Amino acid sequence: MKKGVLLTLSLFLITPNLMSCGETSSQENVINVESVSLSSASQSLKVGEQLQLVVSILPLNATNKNVTYSTSNDNVIVSSSGLVTAQKVGTVTIEVKTEDGNKTSSISLEVQDNDPNKNLSIGDYANKLSESPYANLDITSKEKYGLENNNVGVNQNVIVEKYGKINDDQVDEIIVVNDISLQQVQQYFSSCTELNNYYKLQTSFYLAKEKNDANKVVKIKLPTGKIDVEAYLSKDTSALSLDGLNGTYVEGDNSIINILIQNLNYKGYLTITNCENIYFNDMTFQAEIPSSLTGKIIEGNTETKTLKVEVDQEFNPLVKELLLNKKSLRSWVEFGQINKTPLEGGNFLVDSFKEYTISEQTNGNYQIEVTFSTGISRPRNGTLVALQFSQYDARGASISSSNNIYFENITMHNAYGMALVASSTSNLYLNRFNLSIKENSASLMTATADALHFEKMSGNVEVTNSIIENSHDDALNIKHGYWYKLVSAEGGSAKTMTVNKITGTVLEPKVGDKIAIYNEDTFEGHNPTNGYYTIDSVEKTSAGYVFKVKERMSNVNSWGNCRVTFLSNTPKLTFTNNIIRNKRNRGLLIQVPDAVIENNAFMNVGHGSIQVASAMDQYNEATLAQNVTIKNNKFINNCYIKPEPLYGDISIFAISSNASVAPKSTLYGATIENNFISRNGNAALSFRGVGSSTISDNLFYDCSYTQPSGDKFNTLLQAVNCENIELKDNYNYYTLNKNLSGISPEGNTSESDINIDKSNYNISFKTNSEAGPKVEVSKLNKQITIDGDLSDWNDSNATNIDIIGISDAEGSQRTSDELANHFKLNKLVMSYDDNGIYFGFDVYDNKIDVRTINDFWLGDCVELFMSTITDMPNADMQVYKQEGGVLQAAFAPTWERNGYFTFSEVRTNSKYIENQALMQANFTTKSDGYVGEFMIPFTLAPEFKEAIDNNKTIDIAIVIADAERNDMGLKRVQMGNIPHFVEDYKTKTARMPQYLFK
């Protein structure tokens, strides 16, 4: 029903008795209403809020401007002055009608709930999502801000027991630990004369083994409360050992396994070997004396490389043990004073210590002064620091060669190495497994290495409803095995290959297993159309295996140096509803296919949240992680630590042995869906060698916040050698004034390889708005002799090359002033004539530290990058090196036997390498540096001559490098005619100066 309200702007009482003939002219001057419009400052308001309507009547001098309002329902009330008061949630149409002429206009308003969690703006919505690791199921947004639903983060409704305790009547035997007698203990420990908890617990496991061997299901009942376990009595690496059990439930009752050690001889809690169907429930593991302590900085001196900390009194027992049994200091990690998260820009050092000294103060406190073997920064006093005196010394729990192992309602407060390790095990289930700081403890470290480390697993691996915090290394590292070296291969009817182990091993291969072959230098696959070979027969050798396969092996002679990965029996990883937080190193390292990473929260993970990778580097970890799903997660304030954080908070890549990125679609099938990604340091996502993947319904909020690796990573998605990448329904909101670049195609990725659907908000390709300058190079007016003497460059019409950027290997920007006392450029010039292009340089370097031509990138040298290919600015030069004039060369004063130079095959046209004898280079070494010059002859590189003759530019980067100076705490420094970060920009033409030779 419509409700009318009369608004009287002017009231005229017109009656015949009051009219006279003299008023006739007045009636003739009435100006009628021609139109009316209704508007408001907002199209929505919340229940209880008010909104003023605005009425516009034309013409402006209309005589009768009286109007009435009507509403389509009672969701609002409109006053006589046009003031709207919201009553109920819903939509309403308000109509205005003029008294003169019945002209109308209407607007629609939305009345929203006044609940502070409803109809949130993007800023309020993101702030709510950032408040906690848990899913915000009760909030709504004004519009779709990327997320398809609010079930993002840990869903508290499903943090429940999944496996549970079993009743006593469901087992055949019950062993009560407190009831274990001395007589029972002496069956296994004949020399024991007095009961203690170690003997009772270990005897319980031995008894359970006997019962299991008789096909009986056993329950071991632990006592309530704290149980001091004399771990020093154990002859194994762990306090307690389970071997060969099958069908045992270890049931705690708020039990606390507190292990005791002597002389800092570290022990783990449990070793589980050759066991099946083992359940642990309701217990806490902790060490009486940890191997990590917390202190705060009170003094420091960067010249002497010393820092002094005052140790928190909680850790006095550890310090006293260190005074008696000195252990090596293994790691130093700094944390913020207030939020107690790994400190951005803080010192992080591993095994980089000369010595430490402990002093006791009169108040009973202890101080530790550490002398570092490398340079340090000076943290402010009060900065918190964690010192670890173990790293991989003892595993908290170690599981091997077992099946169906369950941990539920388990807490571990500290570990002398990795917290839980499993290998060669099928079906491992962790639910409500918390690696967490003890309540009210000042500790900043739980495990001094990885939290969870799994390899050669099979079946199901499930980690659910758990908390992993403050571990030194990965929260989870899961891999299936390692690359094997392909020693030989024979095609034709033989179809055989011989493979040798390089580092670690894989599960024993068997007939029917699948393997794949990849070139170790390029990651190019040499596999049949189905993507793998099937083992038809297998023979074990001392170093590896000999296989015969079913599929045809084509063009074996052209494969080059290859490696073999094993594809069968990979585990199915489910990692859901977990919290990973407050840790310096990586979150997850995923190296198995078909993993599901869902409804987790990653918060303050300094190195970065998720790395999905296969790498032929020194770690040699093999299995290709295809079809990984990353869904419904929160990523908040990660990927911000120096040095070397992940390129992206979610980083998916494959790299070869020389660190080059794999070809397109080496990894495929990644799904990044419905995630909240906020305030990460580098790129939000980094894909390298990826194809056929989808990024959808994600909310990116103030991403690429700090860029610890340089502004190259100021992007939502870095896509190197990628194809068939689909982005749809994502929302990017950015309030920072740092020029977020959107999507960055690199390597041989083109914009056509990435589909940015129209449903995305504020997402587009990176534009090269900061291309290098155009520089004119004048022709020589005299002859230059390549003799290591720059005197003939004087008055030669040469062009000076300006230094634009100076960076160190960690991505920090440096200045010429801070380096001038030990490293600076005195002169850098170039020119050309009809014979070639010339370069000359004079470098001050008070400590010449040149490496070999095989690892020149570690030492002092001069590097040159040149390209006539200028239309692929974001591609690495290696992608198009055969398409034109492309070279990378390095020059150093100690390489006389090699002509003072080397070409890098990775980024040099192979024709130049074949004819490198034509190169000319020479050096003169001085007491305080070196002078050098070289020429690129046109007989070697005619493409450069062709570009010059056609008045086309050549993109050139020239870089002068100074080796790492450990005594000064300086990583390797590079200065060049390209911007900071020099290492990233020198191999791409995007920021290189464009030289035009006149």
- Residue 27 pLDDT: 52
**Residue 491 pLDDT exceeds 80:** yes
Residue 770 pLDDT level (bands cut at 50, 70, 90): low
**Residue 501 pLDDT exceeds 50:** yes
- pLDDT tens digit sequence for 522-548: 899 999 999 999 999 999 999 999 999
Q: How many CA atoms lie within 13 A of 448 on its CB side?
A: 25
- The CATH-assigned architecture of domain 168-289+393-478 is 3 Solenoid (2.160)
**Going by C-beta distance under 8 Å and a sequence separation of 6 or more, which residues neighbour residue 698?**
146, 147, 672, 673, 674, 675, 676, 677, 730, 731
573-604 per-residue burial string, b: 16 or more CB within 10 A, e: under 16: bbbbbbbbbbbbbbbbbbbbbebbbbbbbbbb
**Residue 24 pLDDT exceeds 60:** no
Residue 965 bridge partners (DSSP) = 970
- % of the chain at pLDDT higher than 90: 86
Report the alpha-carbon distance of residue 719 to residue 742 in Å, rounded: 11
Per-residue pLDDT, averaged over 731-743, amounts to: 82
Nearest to 244 by CA among 200, 203, 213: 213
- Residue 26 pLDDT: 47
Report which of residues 4 and 299 the model is more confident about.
299
CB atoms closer than 10 angstroms to residue 652: 27
Nearest to 267 by CA among 414, 472, 428, 137: 414
Read off the pTM: 0.83
What is 292-388's CATH number, 2.60.40, 2.40.30, 1.20.58, 3.90.10?
2.40.30
Per-residue pLDDT, averaged over 703-718, amounts to: 86
Nearest to 214 by CA among 242, 181, 173, 249: 173
The per-residue pLDDT of the chain, averaged, comes to 93
- Residue 769 pLDDT: 59
Answer for the pair 276, 247: CB distance below 8 angstroms, yes or no: yes
Per-residue pLDDT, averaged over 865-887, amounts to: 91
> Identical fold at 5-112 and 292-388?
no
- pLDDT tens digit sequence for 233-263: 999 999 999 999 999 999 999 999 999 999 9
Answer for the pair 482, 504: CB distance below 8 angstroms, yes or no: yes
Which pair of tokens denotes residue 725? 């990448």
Residue 693 bridge partners (DSSP) = 725
**Residue 173 pLDDT exceeds 50:** yes
**Residue 12 pLDDT exceeds 70:** no
Answer for the pair 850, 893: CB distance below 8 angstroms, yes or no: yes
Amino acid identity for residue 513 in this structure: D
- Residue 762 pLDDT: 94
CA 886 to chain centroid, in Å, comes to 32
What is 484-566's CATH number, 2.60.40, 3.20.20, 2.10.260, 2.40.30?
2.40.30
455-492 per-residue burial string, b: 16 or more CB within 10 A, e: under 16: bbbbbebbbbbbbbbbbbbbbbbbbbbbbbbbeebeee
Residue 23 pLDDT level (bands cut at 50, 70, 90): very low
- Residue 768 pLDDT: 63
Per-residue pLDDT, averaged over 693-722, amounts to: 91
- Residue 405 pLDDT: 99
Domain boundaries, the chain: 5-112, 168-289+393-478, 292-388, 484-566, 577-756, 774-997
Helices (H), 485-548: none
Report the alpha-carbon distance of residue 698 to residue 666 in Å, rounded: 24
Q: SS3 for 512? A: coil
Report which of residues 216 and 967 the model is more confident about.
216
Which pair of tokens denotes residue 287? 């060490």
What is each CA distance from 584 to 294, 331, 346, 469, in whole angstroms? 15, 12, 10, 10
- The CATH-assigned architecture of domain 774-997 is Sandwich (2.60)
φ, ψ for residue 989, nearest 5 deg: -85, -5
CATH number of 5-112: 2.60.40.1080
Report which of residues 366 and 711 the model is more confident about.
366
- pLDDT tens digit sequence for 907-946: 999 999 999 999 999 999 999 999 999 999 999 999 999 9
Per-residue pLDDT, averaged over 160-184, amounts to: 96
- % of the chain at pLDDT higher than 70: 97
